[in-house]
Each structure stands twice: as structure tokens, then as C-alpha cells.
Amino acid sequence: MTIHSGHARQKIAVLFILIVYTVWGTQPLYWQLFGPIPLSHILAHRIIWSAFLLLPFVLITKRRTQLKQIPGSFRRIAILMLCALAIGGNWLLNIYAAATKQVVEASLGHYITPIMIILLGVFVLKEPFRLYKMVGLALAALGAVILTVHIGRLPMIALLLVVTFTTYTFLKKTTPLGPLVGVTAETLLLMPFAVLFLVYQNSRGVPFFFTNSPKDIVMLISTGAFTAIPLLLFSIGVRWIDFSNLGFLQYYAPSLSLLIGIFIFRERFTPVYFLSFSCIWTAVLIVVFTPIFMGRKKYGGKDGKSGGPAYDRNSGAASAPDRIKTARSRSAPR
């Protein structure tokens, strides 16, 4: 099995996405280490150090030509600007929600986003949608609706989080640029604004590294790796995975954050959260394990060798080559 095969790419994509969502899901533990540093200061450093980390990778892997070609294509510039605005806006919204103590509403947005990604994959990208996915989608939607009703108002922060990250995910799926070049260009586009912000703050007496202590310097520089590496893995994974599968996997990150809040930060876990959490995780279990059981039952045991068409566990259907072979055999004269 090589990385060029569709099945191998799906497995690698799932692994990358799980790593990314683990990092994003545990980020509350990471942000606790920054102490009194303002969130706006952290955001500016995330952008700057991400660009500094990614640019050498572009040069080492000899992709500088692709980076230089971007200004010559209006379509590429437009896509990159939209990607940069979408991910920058998403970061800003998360920071604003944390600063104004509206984390519950932000978590609602993170739960709704996968539903929109699934719908986008099915109705816009025309990806296959099986019955078990419909059941999972209904349960996930029910969990999101329960949280919405519990809040009791139109959640603008949640809706904006949904729009920004769904837009970013869709653009990364359809962009003609490679993952490394795309993410690097996005951070380079945002970097001038981040530098201007820090210069302005410095003119008001706030040092570039806040207190200029060794701890602050190390922590602020570390935001580059914390931001850039997951974004790069996400950019690779999102190009190789079905949108409908990606949507369900995305519930992993907010659920992980919720567990951290309950068992580490000792936050209150109401019956409403328990009901919503149960609906969402049931949906994930249905989508993840149903195709595995269907494959073993239909195509002959553990190795799937039954003489029938090869089963694609990610889409719940026969693989493309076998679908072609089956169609040809049915149309051939007997």
C-alpha cells in the first residue's frame, strides 16, 4: 500500500486530523501557561512566529517557485486572502469569546461547525451520503440544538465561528496550492497586521515580548509551532479526506476540551451538557464503526477477501476501480 493509493491517503488523513484535533482540543491547558499576557498580544505572536517557522520549510523543500508564482495568479491571491481572513477571524473570535467569558457560546459554534461541513460536502462537493451518516447527523444536530436552546438566544459568536472555519475548510479543500505553500502564504499575509499591532502597542509602553522575561519570550515564540504545525497537518489531511467524515471527526476537539474543563479545571457539568455530549458522541460512534461492521459482514471477515468488490471503509461503498470493473462486467455481452 503506497501513499498514492486512495485508501492509504484516507488513513493518513484521518491520523493527521486526529493529531490536529488533539492539539486544538487540549489548547486550554496550553493557554493557561501564558498567565497575564493579553490574548491580543498572543494572537499577534502566533501569526508572526508561524510565518517565521513555515517559510524555512518552503525554502528547504524547494517550493519557493510556487510561492513566487502566487502574485501572478489573481485566483490564488483571492483564495489566499479569503483563507487568511477566515482563519484570522476565527482566531480573533476565539480570543474575544475567552476575554469576554463567552466560552460556552464559542463551544456551541465548535459543535455546529462539523454539521455545516458535512452538509457542504454532501450538497456542494457531491460526496456520498449513507443512511448511517444521516442518523449520525441527526443525532449531532440534536445535540447542537439542545445547547442552543439552553443558551436561550441567537448565538452570534457561535454563528460567526461556524462561518469562518467552514469557509476556511472549504477553501483549503478546493485550493490549487499545496498545503505547505498555502499555509505559509496565509500567515505571511497576516503578518504585516500583527507587526503593526505590536509596534503600536510598543509605542504605548508595552514591550514586544510583553514583560521581556525569559518565560514570556519562550512562551510567545512557542505559539508559532503550536499554530503552524497543526495548520499544516490539517491542510494536508483536509485534501485527502471526505468532507462528511471530516465533519464527524471534528467533534473530537470540543469534546476533549469539555473533558478537560470537567476533570482538570473542575468546571460545572450540567445535565443539559451531558445530554448534548451524549448525542454527539453517539453520532461519532455510529459513523466511525458502522462502515467497519458493514465491511466485515458484507465482504467476508477480517481481511475483506471474499471475491467481491473492495470495500472503502471511509465512504461505505465499493472502491472506485471495483465499481468500474463491476459496471463493465454488467454491460459486457454474455
pLDDT in tens, 203-214: 999 999 988 899
| 319 lies in some domain | no
| pLDDT score at 324 | 39
pLDDT beyond 90 at 198: yes
Angle, helix 271-299 to helix 131-151, in steps of 10 degrees: 180
| pLDDT score at 247 | 66
Q: Which amino acid is at 104?
A: V
* CA neighbor of 110 nearest in space, from 180, 27, 201: 27
Q: Average of pLDDT values for 50-62? A: 86
Strand partners for 41: none
Domain region containing 183: 6-303
| 244 lies in some domain | yes
| 162 lies in some domain | yes
pLDDT band at 222 (very low <50, low <70, confident <90, very high): very high
Look at 268 and 277; give whichever has higher pLDDT: 277
Residues near 212 by beta carbon (within 8 Å), at least 6 away in sequence: none
| 47 lies in some domain | yes
| 104 lies in some domain | yes
| pLDDT score at 196 | 96
Long-range CB contacts (within 8 A, 24+) of 324-333? none
Contact 124, 115 (CB under 8 A): no
Q: Average of pLDDT values for 289-315? A: 55
The total of structural domains in the chain comes to 1
pLDDT beyond 70 at 329: no
pLDDT beyond 60 at 46: yes
Helix (H, G, I), strand (E, B) or coil at 49: helix
| 321 lies in some domain | no
pLDDT > 70: percent of the chain: 84
pLDDT beyond 70 at 333: no
Phi–psi pair at 68, nearest 5 degrees: -70, -25
pLDDT beyond 80 at 230: yes
| 149 lies in some domain | yes
| 67 lies in some domain | yes
pLDDT beyond 60 at 120: yes
Look at 223 and 120; give whichever has higher pLDDT: 223
126: Cα within 13 Å, side-chain hemisphere: 0
| pLDDT score at 308 | 43
pLDDT beyond 50 at 304: no
* CA neighbor of 175 nearest in space, from 122, 120, 236: 236
pLDDT band at 330 (very low <50, low <70, confident <90, very high): very low
pLDDT beyond 70 at 38: yes
